[in-house]
Structure 1
Amino acid sequence: MLARAVRHYLLALQFFTRVPVTGRLADWVGFSPAMLRASAGHFPGVGWLVGGLVAALTALLLQLLPGNAFAPLVAAVWGTAFGVLITGAFHEDGLADVFDGLGGSPDRDRALIIMKDSRVGAFGAIAMMLALLAKVSVLALLGSVNATLMCTALFLAHVVSRIWPLFLIRLMPHVGDAAGSKSKPLADQISLASLWTAFFWCFMALALLGYAQAATNFIVINQPAVVLLQALGSALLASGLVFLLMWRWFWRRLGGFTGDCLGTTQQLCELAFYLGLALCL
């Protein structure tokens, strides 16, 4: 049971990141469409690794950079770039494709064709630029409040934002070119067991945060726990509201989702998490 879970997790890493799972390790992990579907439940677990690495680099930079007002901004830029490097811009590419397609044509079939085009148009370029600027700016704002808050937000947002695309898979049909879609094995179905696995990853991240806060009071030194709880609730609510907007948008425009829609949902729900946290604080 444990070995199977490890295989599924490593397959998720192989699919969603540039973390090398190759050679004998890849042979041991194996591959099948059923395994790829099962690995979807570990998507938030991938967020543990990506968010943890980005948060660690951000914390290191905040320690090494000169202590002035620009340090959080510099750390946010380099941390964001590191996250893009780890994932190979997998989700950012989906964001650009979705805005190119849905912004470029009101016709459903034409929009799907545009989304399959590897070239980036004006709508996609603008959407990606604004998303990256929004992420860097809000993270820098959080870092100006408290460095540990910024790093904690990075970790949690990467975990929580990766559960929302799974609900798209559960609630909507896959549309577009099924034969050429990398996400089609994922989109065939997602079991309740996979959703419970994803919830477990998210619950453990939140539980770890709660334990660390209770044990060390390390997040915001002069803020009472109830304020931090409200801020976390605000972040989760904002992320969930953006998911609902994405679900409604894709349903009205496409009647379903594509792999690019999953990446777009992750990116915008991550942004909403940061913004919800910042607005509450």
Structure 2
Amino acid sequence: MKPRAEFFKEIIADLRMAASFVTILPVASSKPADDGAVARATWALPVAGLLVGLAGALVYKIASRCGLTANLAALLALATTALITGALHEDGLADTADGLGGGRTRARKLEIMRDSRIGTYGTCALILSFGLRWSALATIANPWAVTLALCAAHAGARAGVPAFMSLVPPARPDGLSASAGSPPGRSVAIAFALGTLVLALALGPGKALAGLILLSLAGLLLARLAIRQIGGQTGDILGAFEQLGEILILLVAAALLGGH
């Protein structure tokens, strides 16, 4: 058994790794990561997501206190979460839509996904993503309920990422997903447990279960599509999976918390 000090040191290192993986916050260690460090740290992705959700919720609350409407406050909250993450997941969603929607061959689809330019499919996907999330938050309206919804969405959407990385092989030998490696079973289980806990506390057991079922179905559909079209997952596919999770959980939250 590891000494307690070393155990907590590893936890902090994993939290910093996870935060640096999905945000632009300068929290990464200056020391080079060991092989497999990113994969092992994926258990902490829901924690990093929780921090992103709290930041968006804080901006929403401040905007509401300043007298802004729920529509404007929701837009500012979404802008905050996109800023903190460097729009990493939105970029992945757009590239995934362009790649899977365009190109006739696997090689061409992967080439499109690596292109920094955004196409019609990507533009439509981003409009739908921001529009659905914005509408859900504006429907919920109440600042405390919005806080619960954002925490649930950002933690829950990232809880399934380790499992997705573990079960779906990389589509190419290089890139963000391939370099991160496959998360061990322990990291997959912890991430799922943390995400489920946040969902249950924020939305209640029933709606948490509904969110998990929808997230699982979306993950299975995206995995099947990615494997058939490009042979597996990439960093962009993971970003698209996270965005689908956010959308679905916020819609479930809006159905539960809207108007309260």
Tell me if both proteins adopt one fold, taking TM over 0.5 as the criterion: yes
Partner of 2:182: 189
**Counterpart contact for 2:93–2:122, Cα < 8 Å:** yes
**Counterpart contact for 2:160–2:191, Cα < 8 Å:** no
Q: 1:208 to 1:230 in 2, by over 3 A?
A: closer
- Whole-angstrom CA distance in 2 between matches of 1:191 and 1:61: 41
Partner of 2:230: 254
Partner of 1:37: 39
**Identical aligned residues as a percent:** 32
Partner of 2:3: none
Partner of 2:190, secondary structure, is helix
Partner of 1:33, secondary structure, is coil
**Counterpart contact for 1:239–1:269, Cα < 8 Å:** yes
Q: Deviations over 1:119-174 (max 9, x none)?
A: 1112112211221111111111121xx33222210111100000222222111110
Shift of 1:208: 4.8
Partner of 1:164: 160
- Whole-angstrom CA distance in 2 between matches of 1:276 and 1:78: 21
Q: Deviations over 1:98-138 (max 9, x none)?
A: 11111112322210111111111121122112211111111
Say whether residues 1:114 and 2:112 are aligned partners. yes
Q: For residue 148 of structure 2, what is the amino acid of its counterpart?
A: T
Partner of 1:59: 61
Q: For residue 236 of structure 1, what is the amino acid of its counterpart?
A: L
Which of the numbers 11, 18, 35 marks the counterpart of 1:12?
A: 18
**TM-score, normalised by the number of residues in structure 2:** 0.89
| Greater C-alpha Rg | 1
Q: 1:279 to 1:207 in 2, by over 3 A?
A: closer
Say whether residues 1:198 and 2:191 are aligned partners. yes
Written as runs of structure 1 = structure 2, the 5 A alignment for 1:42-121 is 42-66=44-68, 71-121=69-119
- Whole-angstrom CA distance in 2 between matches of 1:280 and 1:52: 19
**Counterpart contact for 2:57–2:143, Cα < 8 Å:** no
Q: 1:135 to 1:207 in 2, by over 3 A?
A: closer
Question: Would you identify which runs of 4 or more consecutive aligned residues in structure 1 move more than 3 Å?
Answer: 206-210, 228-233
Partner of 1:224: none
- Whole-angstrom CA distance in 2 between matches of 1:108 and 1:280: 41
Gaps of 5+ in 2: 1-6
Q: For residue 11 of structure 2, what is the amino acid of its counterpart?
A: A
Partner of 1:153: 149
**TM-score, normalised by the number of residues in structure 1:** 0.82
**Counterpart contact for 1:169–1:190, Cα < 8 Å:** yes
Say whether residues 1:230 and 2:206 are aligned partners. yes
| Total equivalences in the alignment | 251
**Counterpart contact for 2:196–2:208, Cα < 8 Å:** no
Say whether residues 1:140 and 2:146 are aligned partners. no
- Whole-angstrom CA distance in 2 between matches of 1:137 and 1:30: 42
- Whole-angstrom CA distance in 2 between matches of 1:271 and 1:239: 10
Q: 1:276 to 1:205 in 2, by over 3 A?
A: closer
**Counterpart contact for 1:37–1:185, Cα < 8 Å:** no
